[in-house]
Amino acid sequence: METNAHRDPRRSSAARVAVRVVTVLVVASVLSDRIASSGPLVPTLAALGSAALLADGFADPVRRPRLHVGLLVAAGLCGAALNHLTPSAGWALVGTSIAILVASPGIRLRTAALAVAAPAAVAIAAPWGSEPVALGALYSALVLAGIATAAYAGRTRRSQREADRALVARTRELVEETARSSALEERARIARDMHDVLAHSLGGLVVQLDAAQAEIEGAAPRDDVARRIAGARALAADGLAEARAAVRELRADGSSTDAATAVGAVMRGTVAAEAGIDFDVAGAVRAVPAPVAGALAAVAREAVTNIAKHAAGARCAATLAYEPGRVRLEVISAAARSAPGIAASGSGFGAQGMAARMAEVGGSLAFGPDNAGRWVVSAAWPAGQDGVHGS
């Protein structure tokens, strides 16, 4: 990406000086054979104009724009005055000065037009000392118009290139920002999935292993220890299955699936069985988009994990209801006071994560105590989205 602000200043300065040196060499070459026969006015005007043009090559047009314009006007006036004495040298100076004034993007067009007016007027008036007057003036006007038109065309092209570069730069920044946002969203989603699986399966696994260790240290019967170990193994197997399901969801291409199967796998798992959660499916089962099924399963998993942590032994029930116009998952725990549910998930992924997942698929999440004092977690998705209709 290259813009005026990012160009190499040494390269730009060298180009500015080179253009002016070439013009001065042309003037010197034209006058080399006439210095002896001409009066002092010709070399004086040529020297002053060349000096002004060369000095402008080292002037900073951005920091000192008035000096930049003044030097070019001086060079142009000297060149215009030379037109009736030695046209070739005069046109080299006045033409270069006017072209730079008009083409310079750092000079406003109005300022450039005012600056060009004085040298142009002198150049057009110079032929009045020769014959034929009208033809010479017309020739000068046409030459100046051609120089100004070509310089303006160059200015326009440069401005368009700079605008194109700026547009490309803004587009690239927008694409990069969009990619960064997408990457962050995907990372947040993966983090939520990891939290869902690990907090659910590994949390229950730790509880089972702690219980097994306590029974071993307390010399519990071998059958009790074996039962705890079998439960831990079942939890590990459930965690592995859920991890695989999470990977499949990440790879999902937006196809439809059965939410009852996804939620049922959680509700019939080891943790839910240990917590004694009754699960029921109401209504006619119908397909929903895979991300919706995954979001409902994630809510179920979070609710089951919190019930196992905070409401073990309490009467709990879960219902996946296929209602007209929506699919709703409701998890109810009778121990409202001791079961904070999703709301108090320690890592912060509970409430925010599940609400975000439901919002991503166009659904909603609500949780809290009801009028009967029970803790209720309710996730709903309106059917009919993404081309899947509840009929």
Q: What is the pLDDT of residue 175?
A: 87
Q: What is the pLDDT of residue 363?
A: 92
Q: What is the pLDDT of residue 339?
A: 46
Q: What is the pLDDT of residue 321?
A: 93
Q: What is the pLDDT of residue 35?
A: 61
Q: What is the mean pLDDT of each run of 10 residues along the chain (391 residues)?
A: 44 72 80 66 84 82 82 87 78 87 83 86 70 72 87 87 89 86 73 65 71 78 79 73 65 67 84 82 88 87 80 82 92 65 46 80 88 87 52 30
The segment(s) of the chain belonging to CATH 3.30.565.10 are 180-387
Contact 69, 115 (CB under 8 A): yes
For 180-387, CATH gives 3.30.565.10
pTM attached to this predicted model: 0.46
Q: What is the pLDDT of residue 2?
A: 40
Give the span between the Cα atoms of 309 and 202, in whole angstroms: 12
Q: What are phi and psi of 338, to 5 degrees?
A: -95, 5
